[in-house]
Amino acid sequence: MRLHVIGLGGAGVRIADRLAADHDDDPFLAGVKAFDSDMDALGALNALGEERRYRFGDAAGGDGLGGDLHAGRRLGDAHASELGREMDDQRPSLAEAFLIVVGLGGAAGAGAAPALAEELSRLYDAPVYAFGFLPTPSETEEPDGEGATSAAAGSAAPGTEAEPATPHRPLAERNAARTLDALSDRCAAVFPFDNAAWLRPGETLGGARDRLNGVAAERIAALFGAGETPEGTETPQQVLDASDVARAVGSDGEIAAIGHATQAVESPEGGSRFGLGLFGSSEPAEVDTSAAVSAIETVIRKAARGKNTVEVPDGRADRTLLVVGGPPPWLNREAIADGRRWLAGEAGSDAILSGDAPVPGGDAVSAVVVRSGVDEPERLREIRETIR
């Protein structure tokens, strides 16, 4: 689909920049903009040029809002139309969906996101989705002791690079709870990303930031880029389009989770050890059926049961979307159908849509599993309880 991505606030603009760096030439990425009230955050971007960055909210003084969500809401209400106009050069009327990417615990981005979502819904017929980063518990805790102070400051041994500091944001969880509620009222679906679940043992949020940004950008591209193939390549047998994604995630602001997995395989182009072709043959070799079935089963199960953008309690969901990709000879139809039936049992619902994403000459089989209408994950429940 033709997706227009809007990064709002510090976390949002970093993901927008990462998507532009990794996927600017991909057909699904129709537009990318980065909006923030913080001059330094915008100035640190690499892939997005000046024409795709915009600072809003002169009243904020260019230094951010210090966690004041109410100030962020006022900025959003005052500047939503202005931000909408700033997107006009990328022809947003052609977009099939909009994705607002935002740190839910912040102020400028989280405060402005609901107003911008409402503005985009008013102007265009395309669905507006939100991809929001949940704050970690450590962000709201007071630094404790000398070791914590040193870690928070990003100190490092002489001759080594300092680790980025983990922000101390005492209002982050309450901001996130209120922003989730506001976005659910204004967006077709919300994709939370649970930072805490993705941290490795002993890893800090500051130290993990680049890796987590890469994971988030990869998941976004895996879902929204699944139905787009470059010109001249093979057409999928089951074409995934914007309406399929819309039907899978719904339109009532429900929580949705993205799972993704890949497995390396040998491309059958020019011969393969799985086929019968002679070494050096220019003819594509046949792929061993059992190898294809095993690869597809593996990636579907890993995408469903591996780490998702947010926890899916007991794997259950009202609606599920499955997209399997890879070299066309590896896309065994029977294996994909079996995987779809297995997912129906896992989710406890037969409401499953599927598509395929052929990658001629590719060297991996992949699966994207999106589940919507899931039971509330524990981390979301913890965050919501901060305002109850």
Domains of the chain by residue range:
3-225, 242-372
- pLDDT at residue 209 is higher than 90: yes
- pLDDT at residue 230 is higher than 70: no
pLDDT at 147: 41
- Work out the percent of the chain whose per-residue pLDDT is above 90: 73
For residue 332, say whether it is annotated as part of any ligand binding site: no
Q: How far apart are CA 214 and CA 107, in angstroms?
A: 23
- pLDDT at residue 18 is higher than 50: yes
> Between 270 and 14, where is the model more confident?
14
For residue 46, say whether it is annotated as part of any ligand binding site: no
pLDDT at 155: 44
Q: Is 191 exposed, middle or buried (0-12, 13-18, 19+ CB in 10 A)?
A: buried
- pLDDT at residue 188 is higher than 70: yes
Q: Return the CATH superfamily for domain 242-372.
A: Tubulin/FtsZ, C-terminal domain (3.30.1330.20)
Q: How far apart are CA 188 and CA 167, in angstroms?
A: 30
pLDDT tens sequence across 96-130:
999 999 999 999 999 999 999 999 999 999 999 99
pLDDT at 66: 74
pLDDT at 61: 52
Amino acid at 138: S
Please, what's the largest Cα pairwise distance for the chain?
70
Residue 247 neighbours by CB distance under 10 Å: 14
Question: Which whole number is the average pLDDT over 345-374?
Answer: 93
pLDDT tens sequence across 291-310:
999 999 999 999 999 999 99
This prediction has a pTM of 0.89
pLDDT at 124: 97
For residue 175, say whether it is annotated as part of any ligand binding site: no
Average pLDDT along the chain: 88
Q: How far apart are CA 156 and CA 110, in angstroms?
A: 32
Q: Return the CATH superfamily for domain 3-225.
A: Tubulin/FtsZ, GTPase domain (3.40.50.1440)
What dihedral angle (degrees, nearest 10) is formed by the CA atoms of 139, 143, 146, 148? -20
pLDDT at 59: 61
Q: Residue 272 — pLDDT band, cuts 50, 70, 90?
A: very low
